A = this chain, B = another copy of it.
Amino acid sequence: MAYRDEKLSEEKVFKDPVHRYIHIRDRVIWDLIGTSEFQRLRRIKQLGTTYLTFHGAEHSRFSHSLGVYEIVRRIIENFKGHPNWDEDERLVCLAAALLHDLGHGPFSHSFEKVFDLDHEDYTREIILGDTQVNKILRKVDPGFPQKVADVIHKTYSNKLVVSLISSQIDADRMDYLQRDAYFTGVSYGHFDMERILRVMRPMEEQVVIKESGMHAVEDYIMSRYQMYWQVYFHPVTRSAEVILTKILHRAKELYHSDFKFKLEPRHFKSFFEKKVSLEDYLKLDENVAFYYFHIWQEEDDAILSDLCRRFVDRDLYKYIEFNPGNQYRELMDLKECFIEAGIDPTYYLEVDSSSDLPYDFYRPGEEEERLPIHLMMPNGDFKELSRQSDIVEAISGKKRTDHKLYYAEDLIEQLPQDSELKQRILEILQG
């Protein structure tokens, strides 16, 4: 039997708290899960620094990846026999679902920003490069790795397949909303996925939703909205990320200065030098990164050491509402005061903004475009969701932004009690 068609002698199941069971029948999928590149995802947290806000959010990208696989598996099980569904696409769908996040590194957000990386590039490299994953995919067919990469990169010819993993209601989002809600324990993030799976229909270019399932989709959009503002953009999480980013900046800066690290930052070297090989990349998981944050506490640079202590011990920055647009002057004043007080504003002061578009119809050319959701009306016509749903229409295209100013409160408190400088700083901070 061809490798691509091989089934396990007995179905394997993973117990999953979100989907109850994850079912594996295909040898290819089973083998992919066993690779070191996929197992590495156990050492990358799904939500980065969020566990410092919601202590339950300690789950990894490993379980999320299994979840996305399982959802896609269920969707295409329902598609079986439908004229628009080509059963030959099954394996590429499953593999792409499983591997879509393979290139994520530790604390992706901060690392990508500081070191100018893109995890999607690494996903592609791992799939196409000299890896265990690639070997397995090539056993299916020499062209198979490219196909999987194309699906993840949204350039695959069959757009229906792409839409399973990348659209405004794809398996990726359906898994992470539920999973992140489960592990954080928030009561948002729940929607009736079973219903949504039942009303999904394969069309030539994308998955559409039978109109009778519109309310379940509304609920999903609202979940997404709530999760963004309640969990993903939580200011405490962002405070930890600010510090993390500062650590990376500082270490990089020191590396390029004449500073001598007590212990050579081996795993970081190629990151600092902007020539990260695939091998280097794969070695730097969150455990390794965290090891460095540990030992850098003992380095002789006061700022690096202090920032690392803050991150490790969760001694985070305080924050206030702050709009850099119309408070530019206050920000400049504050920076000056910090300098005067001997507190480096580059590291101890930061404006961070988050914004989200809870649902949007297609705007060609935008960076993070995902396909909009189409309803299939009883008469067979299609309608873009926001034209049919009052609620979705109401929030559609409305970008909301939240600006915060983060700062090391303790350093300000340590200034002499009645110093004028301290008073000035506090005045600016208290508006």
- Chain A positions within 8 Å of B, measured between CB atoms, are 13-18, 20-21, 34-36, 39, 42-43, 51, 54-56, 58-60, 62-63, 66, 182-188, 190-192, 194-195, 198, 215-216, 218-219, 222, 225-226, 229-230, 283, 285-288, 290-291, 294, 309, 312-315, 390-391, 393-395, 398, 400
Contact of A63 among B42, B56, B309 (CB under 8 A): B56
Are B225 and A391 in touch, CB under 8 angstroms? yes
Q: Report B-chain residues with C-beta under 8 Å of the C-beta of A58.
A: 42, 58-60, 63
For the complex, would chain A's binding face be called helix, strand, loop or mixed by DSSP majority? Answer: helix
Contact of A17 among B185, B225, B229, B390 (CB under 8 A): B185
Complex Cα distance, B161 from A340, in Å, reads: 53
Q: Report B-chain residues with C-beta under 8 Å of the C-beta of A219.
A: 187-188, 222, 226
Least CB distance from A24 to B in Å reads 13
With both beta carbons as reference points, the residue of chain B lying nearest to A42 in the complex is identified as B51
Complex Cα distance, B210 from A13, in Å, reads: 15
Complex Cα distance, B290 from A376, in Å, reads: 41
Q: Report B-chain residues with C-beta under 8 Å of the C-beta of A18.
A: 185
Are A226 and B215 in touch, CB under 8 angstroms? yes
Are A192 and B185 in touch, CB under 8 angstroms? no
Q: Report B-chain residues with C-beta under 8 Å of the C-beta of A391.
A: 222, 225, 391, 394-395
Q: Report B-chain residues with C-beta under 8 Å of the C-beta of A63.
A: 55-56, 58
Q: Report B-chain residues with C-beta under 8 Å of the C-beta of A14.
A: 55
With both beta carbons as reference points, the residue of chain B lying nearest to A292 in the complex is identified as B291
Q: Report B-chain residues with C-beta under 8 Å of the C-beta of A400.
A: 390
Are B182 and A17 in touch, CB under 8 angstroms? yes
Contact of A16 among B185, B225, B398 (CB under 8 A): B185
Q: Report B-chain residues with C-beta under 8 Å of the C-beta of A229.
A: 215
Question: Which 10 A-B pairs have CB atoms at the shortest separation, nearest pair first?
Answer: A394-B394, A17-B185, A291-B291, A187-B192, A287-B290, A36-B313, A287-B287, A55-B63, A17-B56, A15-B185
Complex Cα distance, B297 from A394, in Å, reads: 50
Known A-B contacts A56-B59, A294-B283, A294-B288; A39 and B394 likewise in contact (beta carbons under 8 Å)? no
Are A55 and B66 in touch, CB under 8 angstroms? yes
With both beta carbons as reference points, the residue of chain B lying nearest to A298 in the complex is identified as B283
Are B195 and A187 in touch, CB under 8 angstroms? yes
Q: Report B-chain residues with C-beta under 8 Å of the C-beta of A66.
A: 55
Q: Report B-chain residues with C-beta under 8 Å of the C-beta of A54.
A: 15
Are A290 and B43 in touch, CB under 8 angstroms? yes
Known A-B contacts A39-B314, A62-B55; A15 and B184 likewise in contact (beta carbons under 8 Å)? yes
With both beta carbons as reference points, the residue of chain B lying nearest to A182 in the complex is identified as B17
Known A-B contacts A56-B16, A398-B390; A313 and B39 likewise in contact (beta carbons under 8 Å)? yes
Complex Cα distance, B195 from A394, in Å, reads: 26
With both beta carbons as reference points, the residue of chain B lying nearest to A392 in the complex is identified as B394
Complex Cα distance, B36 from A16, in Å, reads: 32
Least CB distance from A39 to B in Å reads 5
| Max count, chain B CB within 10 A of own CB: residue among A17, A182, A188 | A17
Complex Cα distance, B56 from A62, in Å, reads: 9
Complex Cα distance, B15 from A195, in Å, reads: 10
Complex Cα distance, B39 from A55, in Å, reads: 11
Are A20 and B194 in touch, CB under 8 angstroms? yes
